[in-house]
Structures are given as structure tokens and as C-alpha cells.
Structure 1
Amino acid sequence: MLALIEREVARLGLAPGSKLPTEREWVERTGLSRTVVRRSLATLEAQGRVIRHVGRGTFLTPAKPDEQDLANGGGSSPAEIMAVRLLVEPSSMPLVVTAARRDDIAEIQRCLAGSEIDPSYESFERWDAAFHRSLALATHNSLLVQICDMTNAARHQPQWGQLKRRSFTAQRRLDYITDHRTIAEALLDRDGAAAHEAMRAHLLRVRANILGDSI
């Protein structure tokens, strides 16, 4: 099934970020059962090759920002990246409260649930990035989404990866999940101020865990 999807994507000439056919369309194209199709798409999502948005569909993972300009956070240091995140992400929470639709909230909750399944570092990194991007998407502000994509690109930076992996523990994973849950609950309550403070506390925790006394 995975090979069939790859061949069909190539045949259709779909670019990164493009929307894929629906599950029903895949069933019609391949003759496979919907269960097999759904399982295959879930595998592609776990591999980071597609992104599924509740109520919107399944999309090929967007291309990474330009390797010379934006890849790995544009060459910014982890401290610089965290400084930008602390400026932008907490302040965007009230906008999520006012702009988020029902499907946005469902996607935020889906990403939160996904991070709770697999305790591995690699899985959590993918779902962590997806959670923060779902918040940016919920603002319906394209510039904030671009900023999120730039900071998420830093996850491919060797220095960031080494620091994050070295700081990652089972307890810290649980702490981050608890932080995410607190943020999501504040958004569900339509409490922008609480969501702002929850995001700020979360990012301060991340910064302290990754950078320690180096900030």
C-alpha cells in the first residue's frame, strides 16, 4: 500500500504540502479496504511523511524551509530560537482563542493525544512539533504559521538536536505533556490569559531544560 501511494503521488505530480486523495478515493484507486488504507496513512504520518488535519484531510509534509536561509532556524542559536518563541508563542494564544474553529481544537487535541502514545524521543519530537504547529494554524494567521515553521526547522539543527536529546528524560516528557494539556484546557475554556501564561511557563521549562545556565 505504501508503494502504491508513493507511485500515485509521483504520477499526480503532487508537491510537498499538497492535499492527498481521501480515504474513499484511495480505496477506489487501489481496491484495498479502508482499514488497510487508514493503517497505511497512519504509518506515513508516524514517519513524518504526511500530516493529517481533522476536518481538512491528509497532506504531504510541507517542504523544509530553504536550506540556505531558513533551514535549522536560519542558523540561529538555540538561545536565539527560544527567545523568539517566548516572544511569539505566548502572545499568540489569545488569537487562538478568538480564531480557532472546532476542527482546529480537534487537531490540537489529536496532536496532544499522539504525544502520549510512544515514549520514544523521536516520536515525541514529531508530535511536539505537530502540537505547536496546530496552535499556529489555529490562529489562521499565515505569518505566525511561517514563524512556527522556521522555529520547528531548528529541530533539524545538529546543535539543537544534541541539546534536546541530551536533556530528554521520561519525566521531562511527562512534564511537557502536562504543560501541553494545560495549554489545551485553557484554550478549550476560551481563556486567553491562562493560555498565555501556560505557554510561557512551558517554554521557560523547555529553555531551562535544554540550555540550563547557558542562557
Structure 2
Amino acid sequence: MTELPDTAFPLSSAHLSDRVSALIEEEIRAAIWAPGARLPTERAFAERFGVSRAVVREAISRLKADGWVRSRQGVGAFVVEQVGGANFRLEPAMKDARNLRDLFDLRSVIEPGAAALAARRRSPGDVAALRRALQDMDVALSSGDSEYGAASDDRFHDGIAAATHSPHLQRLMSVVQRSLSGTRLPTWLNRAPLDLAAAAQAEHHRLFAAIEAGDSLAAQHAAHDHLVAAAGRLNLQLDSRDE
């Protein structure tokens, strides 16, 4: 059975749950846990991977959402009879360089349009939620709290999806966001002399300003430029937008 591998940088509980769910999924794919089989308890998984039961609980929830696992009240979690189901899913972004590039290609198609839609449809509540996430990132940038910065970064992008008020788009972007787990923390860990977090935060401010102003074209451009820069911070090159 696979074990939780070492990582080059610290992981938040959300990132750990992604890693744990990915490892359990690999074992289901490899038929280590057969269709219909009962999975080990939260406690057993927690001891095996060296994480908290809350992390395991979140990992199991993700597997349920992706169609790999079902729960029976008071009994436990079981592998579904037809594993994988018909749910759309993506491999974790950090699995390998090819997968990371493919995910950024997908983001470059989806997210600028989502930002434009958010600018047209955002409510006062949406703007307030985005502002809170943006302010939390400002605090993290000042304090050097990288994990808080990455978590707030996730909330900011989730908030843009919510502001579209498009259920299908929100679900698709939720799948993308889960696959992105772990890609933002390296930026927030990078400080002087190349303060990548400060550069990313400047891009967030520009994107927020466009959405708040209801300027869909500016939001679309800001989202695309942010993706190009974010890819560059991960040593990828995306096509720049046409002026």
C-alpha cells in the first residue's frame, strides 16, 4: 500500500486531505480496495498516513464527491460498485509537469470567461466575500503566514466562481480548484529577493477591482494575465492574450 510521501514544503490540512484522497483513490484504481469493499476506519487511515482524523474525513468526502466512495450511516465508507462513476474529475495538478500544463490550459479557457461573468453578475455579498479574501491575503503577505495566504488565495478564486451564479460553472471550477491544491503555496512561500507572493497579490487586486467595478472586459484581461503570470511562477509558459 502507498504511504503519504514527503513534500518539499509544509502542507495545510486542506492540502493534506487532497494528498490522502489521491492516495486512497490510487489504491481503489489498483483494486487494492475492491468494488463494494469497506474502507478502513478514519482512525486507521489517520495512523497510517500520520494525519488527523479531520484530514481523513475531508479526504473521504472528496472521494464521495468524485464518485469513488459511498457512506453507510453508522457502518463506514465503502468503495462504490462501479468505481469512478460518471463524474468529471481531474488528476492533481502537481502529479507531473504534463498534467500541470494541461490544467493551466484548461484554466486559461475557463477562468477569464468566469471572471467576466462574475463582473456582470456579482452581488454586494459576492464583492464583500472577495474583499475579505483579498484583505486576508494582504494580512498574510504582511505577516509572512504562507499557509493562511494560500488558503485565502483559494477562497478568492472560489469567490469568483460563486459570483458567476452559474451552478454548472461553479461545479466545474470546484473540480479544477481541488486539482490545484498545492500549486499556490510555493508562491506564498517565496519571499525576498523575488517576492512572488507580492506580485501575485497585485494581480489579485487588479482582478478584484475589475469585478467590483462591473467591468467584464477588464476582469477577463486581468484573469488571463494572472494565469499567465501564475504559470510563469511554476516555470510554465502560457500564450499571452492578444491586445
Give the structure-1-normalised TM-score: 0.61
Q: Identify unmatched segments of 5+ residues in structure 2.
A: 1-53, 69-83
Given that 1:112 and 1:127 are in contact with CA atoms closer than 8 Å, whether structure 2 keeps it comes out as yes
Percentage of pairs with the same residue: 18
Pick one of 94, 97, 108 that aligns with 1:86.
Answer: 108
Pick one of 124, 136, 153 that aligns with 1:114.
Answer: 136
Counterparts of 2:187 and 2:206, CA distance in 1? 25
Pick one of 81, 92, 95 that aligns with 2:117.
Answer: 95
Shift in Å at residue 209 of structure 1? 1.0
Residue of structure 1 equivalent to 2:186:
165
1:134 to 2:154 alignment: no
Counterparts of 1:92 and 1:129, CA distance in 2? 15
1:174 to 2:198 alignment: yes
Residue deviations 1:168-214, cap 9 Å, x none? 51211011111010011111221111111111000000001103469
Distance 1:149 1:188, change over 3 A: same
Residue of structure 1 equivalent to 2:92:
72
Residue of structure 2 equivalent to 1:189:
213
Distance 1:84 1:168, change over 3 A: farther
RMSD: 3.2
1:209 to 2:230 alignment: no
1:145 to 2:165 alignment: no
Higher helix share: 1
Runs of 4+ in structure 1 over 4 Å off? 67-71
Give the structure-2-normalised TM-score: 0.55
Given that 1:71 and 1:150 are in contact with CA atoms closer than 8 Å, whether structure 2 keeps it comes out as no
Structure with greater contact order relative to length (CA < 8 Å, sep ≥ 6): 1
